[in-house]
């Protein structure tokens, strides 16, 4: 599934998420509270986008591998001066076949899983490449939120949603999948990953001044779901 926002508009997307409400003041702070100590850790960033997380992980002393299906996103990660990140193009629906067994301490996947119709292949590979007791931390659309856009009205189906988002300041077409919470949990369990922490996120205090409407919305209803899993 090629979404234009992540291919032809990659540089614009990178600029848009640097300091916006949903990514910079809600998603990133919420996911970061689930991360373990990072110095000296080997981390893989699955669906790295323009590299906001990769740069952060590196700044915290981790060794970073960054993977994305968009060649344009990988080019942005690689052109960061002085940033020593191993970045390459891979469709994560096929997992990470080039990575060795038990080679990472941590896998992160912020806001990517909902682009996969079936995340099972990726989850199995995450289990394979993590060291014993390794962690997998990811965020995805909250099933409660996506259900509002269900074409069928049947919560228990996994369905493709075609939508338009205003992230770039104008409507841009996006496609993603919605699935019931039980299907997500089953895929994790089938892969041998145990959920050890779940969060529904929290906007940071800066958003209260910069975007009070989104702050009110995200303080009273969830936007994304955040899961921390351990190799079982």
Ligand X SMILES: C[S@@+](CC[C@H](N)C(=O)[O-])C[C@H]1O[C@@H](n2cnc3c(N)ncnc32)[C@H](O)[C@@H]1O
Candidates 41-49, 95-103, 124-132, 217-225: pick the segment binding ligand X (CB under 6 A): 41-49
Smallest distance from ligand X to CB 139, Å? 8
Q: Helices 52-59 & 10-18, crossing angle to 10 degrees?
A: 50
First to last CA, the chain: 31
Smallest distance from ligand X to CB 32, Å? 11
Question: Which whole-number Å values give the CA distances from 25 to 50, 52, 61, 133, 143, in the listed order?
Answer: 17, 13, 23, 30, 21
Smallest distance from ligand X to CB 147, Å? 19
Binding mask 62-81 for ligand X (x = CB under 6 A): ------xxx--x--------
Q: Does 52 bind ligand X (CB under 6 A)?
A: yes
Q: Does 49 bind ligand X (CB under 6 A)?
A: yes
Token pair recorded at residue 73:
């996103």
- In whole angstroms, give the CA distance from residue 130 to residue 62: 15
Q: Does 110 bind ligand X (CB under 6 A)?
A: yes
Among residues 90, 86, 131, which one has the least CA distance to residue 107? Answer: 131
List of residues contacting ligand X (CB under 6 A): 6, 17, 47-49, 52-53, 68-70, 73, 91-93, 110-112, 115-116
């Amino acid at each position: 599934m090629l979404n234009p926002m992540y291919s032809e508009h990659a540089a614009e997307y990178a600029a848009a998420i640097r300091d916006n409400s949903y990514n910079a003041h809600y998603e990133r702070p919420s996911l970061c509270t689930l991360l373990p100590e990072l110095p000296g850790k080997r981390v893989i960033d699955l669906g790295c986008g323009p590299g906001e997380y990769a740069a952060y992980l590196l700044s915290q002393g981790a060794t970073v591998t960054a993977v994305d299906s968009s060649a344009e996103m990988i080019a942005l990660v690689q052109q960061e001066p002085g940033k020593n990140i191993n970045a390459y193009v891979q469709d994560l629906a096929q997992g990470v076949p080039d990575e060795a067994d038990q080679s990472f301490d941590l896998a992160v996947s912020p806001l990517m899983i909902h682009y996969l119709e079936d995340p099972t292949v990726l989850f199995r590979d995450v289990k394979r490449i993590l060291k014993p007791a390794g962690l997998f931390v990811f965020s995805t659309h909250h099933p409660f939120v996506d259900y509002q856009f269900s074409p069928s009205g049947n919560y228990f189906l996994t369905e493709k949603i075609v939508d338009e988002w205003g992230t770039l300041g104008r409507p841009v077409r996006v496609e993603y999948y919605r699935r019931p919470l039980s299907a997500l949990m089953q895929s994790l369990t089938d892969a041998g990953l145990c959920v050890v922490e779940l969060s529904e996120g929290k906007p940071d205090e800066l958003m209260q001044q910069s975007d009070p409407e989104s702050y009110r919305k995200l303080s009273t209803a969830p936007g994304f779901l955040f899961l921390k899993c351990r190799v079982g």
